[in-house]
């Protein structure tokens, strides 16, 4: 960790792009792995050993035809600069224990539904909310979320996911306002943590904290080389902006945390705006969109038009396109669960974001039609490596690639993420999206404490239950209900 900084924004501008975080992950992954593996083995073998395992069965043929090209053609832009691609690691994996698929079990909530209606989506959200019960995925002592089962650590990205999940659960009337674990109490605990947590010598949050006591996880944070993690900060800001819009009574507390010079005099995030704007203006990464959106929620005038510029860059004719099983996609850094987070969590006005997400969905469908194999690309824990990023399109034009934390391509079967599959179903209630979800219901254990992360394309189950999976699924359910006809 650096101990002195003349200027946080200058330090960030000197980096090889602030959306590139793989260097830290490379340094600390062995440390994280060794700390977590013992917890994982104890928790998972004791908790999941009794659960029945499902066996995928034959599913109906999918005939929905993919479109040949994006439906809209954005205006060209002269900016062809490409920034490094975002690789956003999380502190600890949920588990590393693959389990072979066993015998068939009773139909899940999606398979048993004749129609995927609002009642079904409410049930899906309630299942996902099981993860956030105290003593499961929310620490009983501090009220802070755990990244995953056996992973009592959090980043600002994880806090943002949790805040958004609580907001969405409140909108769905899954959790009430009052009570020890109602909306008000949960948000009070999280905001108190943000108001009082220890900051580093540059007066910014440390990269990692312990969920069990709210203290800095120094074993990991002290390995970092930057004063602030802008990627995770931006994701947190998306949720905090949504929080103050949802509950006006919390506006001043949120502002005091984010905007420098008020009651708490916390971090001077405004000093980072020049770097956020510069990187966003030249980026073709979907990660840049969600990060810049978070900062723009608090500094709309300073960052006005940045999100539009990022999509201009992604769709620029000079940037080029690639064919993904016959579906045309921009040659940009595109991964799916971040796209879905943008759709579910950000008030978007640019139709190109929806178009891009739909085209990515169609690319998955086209792959299935061509191969008979399912996939649902995203980022998260995996069987083959500590954390992996699956890119439908990589910035250099490669398609369907999975990378580890060192930018090395993974040759083992990719992972089929439950959160992506259910996100697809929320946006496209089609025969393909339902059959993909049913496949995962057959493959995964019963969702006793929330939906499991998924299964790899070789058929091995990763019995992890985590916040990133279940938070996105709650958001998907809310999106589907709000957009039902």
Residue 177 has φ and ψ, to the nearest 5°, of -80, -35
pLDDT at residue number 475: 98
Residue 72 CB: number of other CB atoms within 10 A?
A: 11
Give the helix/strand (H/E) hosting 209: strand 209-210
Task: Please give the Cα distance from 449 to 408 (Å, whole number).
Answer: 33
pLDDT at residue number 161: 98
Task: Please give the Cα distance from 240 to 258 (Å, whole number).
Answer: 9
SS3 58: coil
Encoding tokens for residue 293?
A: 């959106």
Task: Please give the Cα distance from 315 to 305 (Å, whole number).
Answer: 15
Annotation: CATH topology of 8-482: Glycosyltransferase (1.50.10)
pLDDT at residue number 29: 34
Task: Please give the Cα distance from 301 to 208 (Å, whole number).
Answer: 31
pLDDT tens digits along 404-431:
877 889 888 899 999 999 999 999 999 9
Q: Compute CA distances 266 → 58, 196, 199, 263, whole Å.
A: 56, 9, 8, 8
With contact defined as beta carbons under 8 Å apart, do 327 and 66 qualify? yes
How do the domains of the chain map onto residue ranges? 8-482
Average pLDDT, the chain: 81
With contact defined as beta carbons under 8 Å apart, do 434 and 416 qualify? no
Evaluate if pTM is beyond 0.85.
no
Residue 409 has φ and ψ, to the nearest 5°, of -70, 135
pLDDT at residue number 415: 92
Q: Which residues contact 150 (CB under 8 A, 6 or more apart)?
A: 36, 39, 40, 42, 43, 44, 92, 94, 95
pLDDT at residue number 42: 31
Q: Tokens 């995996």 appear where? A: 382
Encoding tokens for residue 426?
A: 């929320």
- 304: Cα within 13 Å, side-chain hemisphere: 3
pLDDT at residue number 338: 93
pLDDT at residue number 327: 97
Give the start-end residues of each E strand in 97-140.
Answer: 98-100
Q: Tokens 């956003």 appear where? A: 88
pLDDT at residue number 149: 84
pLDDT at residue number 79: 28
pLDDT tens digits along 283-327:
999 999 999 999 999 999 999 999 999 999 999 999 999 999 999
Give the helix/strand (H/E) hosting 165: helix 156-171
Dihedral over Cα of 376, 380, 381, 383: its sign = positive
pLDDT at residue number 261: 64
| Spans of the chain, pLDDT less than 50 | 1-102
Task: Please give the Cα distance from 317 to 75 (Å, whole number).
Answer: 8
Q: Which residues contact 253 (CB under 8 A, 6 or more apart)?
A: 191, 195
Task: Please give the Cα distance from 390 to 155 (Å, whole number).
Answer: 21
């Amino acid at each position: 960790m650096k101990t002195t900084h003349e200027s946080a924004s200058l330090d960030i501008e000197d980096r090889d792009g602030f959306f590139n975080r793989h260097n830290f992950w490379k340094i600390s992954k062995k440390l994280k792995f060794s700390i977590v593996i013992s917890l994982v083995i104890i928790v998972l073998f004791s908790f999941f050993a009794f659960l029945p395992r499902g066996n995928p069965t034959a599913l109906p043929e999918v005939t929905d035809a993919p479109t040949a090209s994006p439906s809209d053609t954005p205006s060209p832009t002269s900016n062809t600069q490409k920034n490094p691609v975002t690789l956003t690691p999380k502190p600890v994996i949920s588990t590393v224990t693959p389990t072979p698929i066993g015998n068939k079990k009773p139909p899940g909530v999606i398979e048993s539904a004749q129609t995927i209606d609002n009642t079904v989506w409410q049930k899906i959200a309630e299942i996902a909310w099981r993860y956030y019960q105290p003593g499961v995925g929310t620490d009983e002592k501090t009220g802070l979320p755990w990244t995953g089962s056996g992973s009592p650590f959090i980043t600002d990205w994880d806090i943002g996911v949790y805040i958004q999940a609580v907001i969405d659960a409140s909108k769905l009337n899954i959790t009430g306002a009052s009570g020890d674990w109602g909306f008000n109490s949960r948000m009070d605990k999280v905001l108190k943590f943000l108001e009082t947590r220890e900051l580093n010598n540059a007066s910014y949050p440390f990269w990692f904290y312990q969920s069990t006591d709210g203290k800095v996880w120094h074993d990991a944070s002290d390995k970092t080389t930057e004063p602030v993690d802008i990627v995770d900060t931006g994701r947190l800001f998306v949720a905090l902006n949504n929080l103050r819009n949802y509950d006006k009574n919390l506006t001043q507390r949120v502002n005091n945390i984010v905007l420098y010079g008020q009651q708490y005099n916390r971090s001077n995030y405004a000093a980072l705006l020049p770097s956020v704007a510069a990187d966003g203006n030249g980026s073709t990464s979907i990660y840049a969109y969600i990060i810049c959106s978070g900062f723009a929620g608090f500094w709309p005038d300073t960052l006005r038009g940045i999100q539009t510029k990022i999509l201009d860059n992604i769709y620029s004719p000079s940037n080029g396109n690639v064919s993904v099983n016959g579906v045309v996609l921009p040659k940009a850094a595109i991964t799916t669960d971040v796209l879905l987070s943008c759709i579910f969590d950000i008030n978007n006005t640019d139709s190109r974001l929806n178009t891009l997400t739909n085209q990515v969905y169609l690319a998955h469908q086209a792959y299935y039609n061509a191969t008979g194999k399912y996939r649902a690309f995203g980022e998260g824990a995996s069987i083959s490596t500590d954390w992996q990023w699956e890119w439908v399109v990589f910035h250099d034009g490669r398609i369907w690639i999975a990378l580890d934390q060192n930018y090395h391509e993974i040759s083992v079967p990719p992972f089929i993420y439950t959160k992506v599959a259910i996100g697809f179903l929320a946006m496209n209630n089609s025969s393909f999206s339902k059959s993909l979800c049913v496949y995962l219901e057959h493959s995964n254990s019963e969702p006793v404490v929330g939906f499991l992360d998924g299964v790899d394309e070789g058929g091995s189950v990763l019995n992890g239950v985590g916040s990133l999976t279940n938070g996105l699924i709650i958001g998907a359910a809310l999106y589907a209900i709000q957009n039902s006809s």
